[in-house]
Amino acid sequence: MKEVFIPKSDALEVEQFRDIDYYAVENYGLPIELMMENAGLQLANLVAQSVENKSRSILIGIGNGNNGGGGLVAARRLSAWGYRVYLDLFKEINKDLPKLQLERALKFGAIMEKIEDPDVWVDAYLGFSQRLPLPAELTERISEANNGQCLKISLDLPTGYTNEDSEHYFQADKVLTLAAPKKILYGLSRADIYVADLGIPGAIYEKFNAKILPFQDGNIIKLKKEIYMPDGVTSVIELHRGMLSKGESSVTILEFIKEYADRLKAGFEAKNKAVAIDILNYYKPLMGRTQEEIFKESLEDSDFLIIAANVHGYDSSDKIPTELIDIKFEKAVDLLLAGEYYDLKVMLEESPHLVHQHSQFGHKGQLIHYCASNAVEIYRQVVPVNLSDIIALLISYGADPTVKIPVYGGQFDFMALYESSAHPHEAPFDIDLSNL
């Protein structure tokens, strides 16, 4: 699935999207039913991509508006594909179009029954048309969903959510919004946000100065979380791009670090500033030098291997292990630093031991230490916008922030590393560690 980063400043206000929606209907002959069909199909696609096993139970919460109509289209599609779909109608469906969609969904095999403990709970109750306070029967459903272990998916806007201060709302793991990102959704730091193509022409986006997403690459686009990357770290990542996602293949630690050293050598010959950053941070013989002075030095292959070893916490190249890299642990680190809360949660649910596991690299950091953006490999010293939530998730699975690791010639725990790290304090968003 295509992933893009869209800053909040480029997202739409809800009112702007309503204007776009209305303009498309009035001026381009796009009927509500067609856009409802598009929305429901994309919702069904997201659910199907999230739940490969067709024996899993899917409960779709339905309201009496267009959002509920989209949920019913999804129910019809999923039923046609062989999924077990149940419908939860919290109120009577009496509007013409949702009523027609309900009849279709039932004919295709959806069952009108609010089952207990579904594997997936889809929130298509209200969408952007919701008004607070919610009726009691709906707040009860939200509590039940939030207290369950099911995958939770909302269509357009989680029911009960109006802003970052909202307390009682459907805590979706995934949100499928339509046509364009909405500013209000950026407060959902734990949820994965997806944008679905609704079939609105590019001319309308241009008229309303809205950003057009690359739907030609896929009808559903996932929004990347905001990640703070200091300039120096960004340069190092660019130098080593293509080899840093160690969770993709089986290589030994020695093989990986040798490749890192080869990249350093090539970058040094090209006078790439990223190499100077690695050297200034990790290679004692040249610490304190200027970039110009560094690039005048004559370095051997053995020097680059030592630098690469130092970057990964080894004080000499002969201490680099030859064992295979632990793919699962490295994948967990990658998810953590990308702010992928839900995927990390799924991984920890399957392998809770990961929170206690130490990195194979010389610094021996645990997942919690990677949250400090300090003392670990420099290309991983980044700060996801939802770092507070990530830390809380790790602790909920048993991570111990008081565990110390052997770095900087001593023993330091998470808070000591976090407080002495510049990156989290320079990030352009707030990080709340009050729960620690």
Binding residues for (6S)-NADPHX: 66-70, 127-133, 156
Backbone phi, psi, residue 14, to 5°: -60, -40
Nearest partner of 122 among 181, 180, 78, 178, judged by Cα: 78
| Binding-site annotation, residues for K(+) | 67, 123, 159
Beta strands in 18-103 (DSSP E): 57-62, 84-89
> Which residue's entry shows tokens 């770095």?
407
Three-class DSSP category at 228 = strand
Q: The tokens of 64 are what?
A: 């009496």
Largest pairwise CA distance in the chain: 80
User: What are the backbone dihedrals phi and psi of residue 68, each rounded to the nearest 5 degrees, phi first?
Assistant: -65, -35
- Residue bearing tokens 């953590």: 336
Helix runs in 240-296, H state only: 253-269, 273-282, 291-295
- CA-CA-CA-CA dihedral for 105, 47, 120, 384, to nearest 10: -150
> How far is it, in rounded angstroms, from Cα 145 to Cα 168?
11
How do 220-223 and 192-196 pair as beta strands?
Answer: antiparallel
In angstroms, the CA 329 to CA 355 distance is 9
Rounded to whole angstroms, the Cα distance separating 198 from 112 reads 27
Which residues are documented as binding site?
Answer: 66-70, 123, 127-133, 156, 159
Q: Which residues of 215-242 are buried (b: 16+ CB within 10 A; e: fewer)?
A: beeebbbebbbbbbbbebbebbbebbee
d(CA 197, CA 180): 8
350 vs 174, 215, 247, 337, 362, CA distance in Å?
19, 33, 17, 19, 26
- Is residue 320 within 8 A of residue 253, CB to CB? The reply is yes
